[in-house]
Amino acid sequence: MTPHADPAKGAAVKAADRAHVFHSWSAQELIDPLAVAGAEGAHFWDYEGNRYLDFTSGLVYTNIGYQHPKVVTAVQEQAGRLATFAPAFAIDVRSEAARLIAERTPGDLDKIFFTNGGAEAVENAARMARVHTGRPKILSAYRSYHGATAAAINLTGDPRRWASDNGSAGVVRFWAPFLYRSPFYAKTEEQECARALRHLEDTIAYEGPQSIAAIILETIPGTAGIMVPPPGYLPGVREICDRYGIVLVLDEVMAGFGRTGTWFAAEHFDVVPDLLTFAKGVNSGYVPLGGVAISGEIADTFARRPYPGGLTYSGHPLACAAAVATIDVMAEEGVVEHAARIGRDVLGPGLRDLADRHPSVGEVRGLGAFWALELVRDPDTREPLVPYNASGEANAPMTAFATACKKSGLWPFINMNRTHVVPACNISETEAKDGLTLLDEALTVADAHL
Ligand code: PMP
């Protein structure tokens, strides 16, 4: 399918959307969703005939791009064979998806509990940790996002939780390392790491280790700003968890399945969690799927005692068929290695070059197909380009930057004062370079606010 203009159809699609679709995270009358006509690979297009390079990969999930023929065919064939079957039965495609995932997750995370997405994975990881330990509390980081269902939004640290926060029963938040805006006034990565670990130890000591079921962390926090932790941090957290019998949950809903240039981001730090949550990239989002990969020890807790949780569509055959096909494609086409290479050779150097030439870029962070540019008003004071959690007029500089990107044919991922560069993991070198050129032009709009 290629773009062709059909503005009348676009207007009809938009009108129908406006009439009946209630959109996530939005003031319904203040949004103007683009009517999308189609998508392929790293691009999508609208009904006006405009084509966009997608630097968001949806919501950071189309890791192998849109409409990969092998995944589309696998879903079609599964629908013809067995479109649905309840989770209590053994189904070939479900056990195959579980095997392929378990083989790729680190360490002994060999049992897979399937969910429909990331938040449900986090919900169930929290439940598993609490039942396994018999303890009530979970520690989570301020700069984090874990999903929008009840427990997941309480475990979330960033402002998206504010409206739903019921007092966050059983959740204690702490600061994870982030040198650029260090909560610990550290000057070096080593200092930041040591102080963050000491802060975590102090938090545990004052909460009482016997009351803490789990520590949950995004291995590399995603929507909160792609802060790659110092090398020693996660091994240090692992050691603290072992010392106190606390379950370590690593949330890889965004960072997993090739995004960072390894199958899972935990590999960069040589850390094995007790529970690992995944979704998004597991099947590039062609059919909703998520899950929890479970260690042998936690799986044993539920060997002769029922696990108190479940979902009607757990391990849905269509979603599992998409996962099997996606993982096959990633292996056959070397997508994980490609993401590592494109990060190292194209996106990393290209974004650092933009930072050198645009004073509005305060910091570039990331790896693989997982990058963030922190936009600032003043590079010396690091004052963000827009105030924390700004909206409306206060957010105008970021809105102007986003509009400039879209006009040039680049669809940007914007969060607060940052733009994230999170394209499909199999984006070609030419596409990645084209995107950097478009970003270069749009950053002059941000520079104008200095
Ligand atoms: N955890 C992380 C790290 C995420 O990035 C997200 C979604 N952005 C979620 C959990 C929630 O996933 P979902 O939207 O599929 O419920």
pLDDT value, residue 51? 97
pLDDT value, residue 450? 86
* Residue that terminates a domain, selected from 271, 304, 331: 331
pLDDT digits 0-9 by tens, 35-55: 999 999 999 999 999 999 999
Same domain, 117 and 178: yes
How far apart are alpha carbons 244 and 208 in whole angstroms?
Answer: 10
Mutational pocket test of ligand 1: of 25, 140, 254, 259, the residue with most ligand atoms within 8 Å of the beta carbon = 254
Average pLDDT over residues 128-147: 98
Pocket of ligand 1 (CB under 6 A): 59, 117-119, 122, 145-147, 218, 222-223, 251, 253-254, 279, 290
How far apart are alpha carbons 70 and 76 in whole angstroms?
Answer: 10
Domain presence at residue 299: yes
How far apart are alpha carbons 105 and 439 in whole angstroms?
Answer: 34
DSSP 145: -
Domain limits for position 52: 7-64+334-447
pLDDT digits 0-9 by tens, 225-262: 999 999 999 999 999 999 999 999 999 999 999 999 99
Domain presence at residue 1: no
Which atom of ligand 1 is nearest to 277's Cα?
1
Same domain, 147 and 281: yes
* Residue that terminates a domain, selected from 305, 331, 357: 331
pLDDT digits 0-9 by tens, 101-110: 999 999 999 9
| Residues 363, 374 contacting (CB under 8 angstroms) | yes
- Asked whether residue 165 carries a pLDDT value surpassing 90, the answer given is no
pLDDT value, residue 286? 98
The region of weakest confidence among 302-311, 320-329, 388-397 is: 388-397
Distance 281 CA to ligand 1 centre (A): 11
Average pLDDT over residues 284-313: 98
Same domain, 438 and 292: no
Distance 278 CA to ligand 1 centre (A): 9
Same domain, 86 and 204: yes
* Residue that terminates a domain, selected from 289, 311, 331: 331
Domain presence at residue 233: yes
Same domain, 339 and 232: no
Domain presence at residue 238: yes
Same domain, 112 and 207: yes
| Number of structural domains found in the chain | 2
Helix axis angle, 348-357 to 429-447, nearest 10°: 20
Which atom of ligand 1 is nearest to 279's Cα?
15
Sign, Cα dihedral of 173, 179, 180, 185: positive
Distance 147 CA to ligand 1 centre (A): 5
The overall average pLDDT reported for the chain is: 97
Q: How confident is the model at residue 1 (pLDDT cuts 50, 70, 90)?
A: low
Distance 222 CA to ligand 1 centre (A): 9
Question: Domain containing 75 — which CATH number?
Answer: 3.40.640.10
Domain presence at residue 383: yes
Sort 182 into a burial class: Cβ within 10 Å, 0-12 / 13-18 / 19+. Answer: middle
Question: Domain containing 342 — which CATH number?
Answer: 3.90.1150.10
pLDDT digits 0-9 by tens, 334-354: 999 999 999 999 999 999 999
Share of residues in the chain with pLDDT > 90 (%):
95
Same domain, 214 and 303: yes
Higher pLDDT, 404 or 166: 404
* Assessment of whether the complete model's pTM goes beyond 0.90: yes
Distance 89 CA to ligand 1 centre (A): 27
Same domain, 260 and 355: no
Q: How confident is the model at residue 2 (pLDDT cuts 50, 70, 90)?
A: low
pLDDT digits 0-9 by tens, 356-383: 999 999 999 999 999 999 999 999 999 9
Same domain, 172 and 288: yes
Distance 256 CA to ligand 1 centre (A): 11
Mutational pocket test of ligand 1: of 56, 123, 145, 311, the residue with most ligand atoms within 8 Å of the beta carbon = 145
Same domain, 46 and 76: no
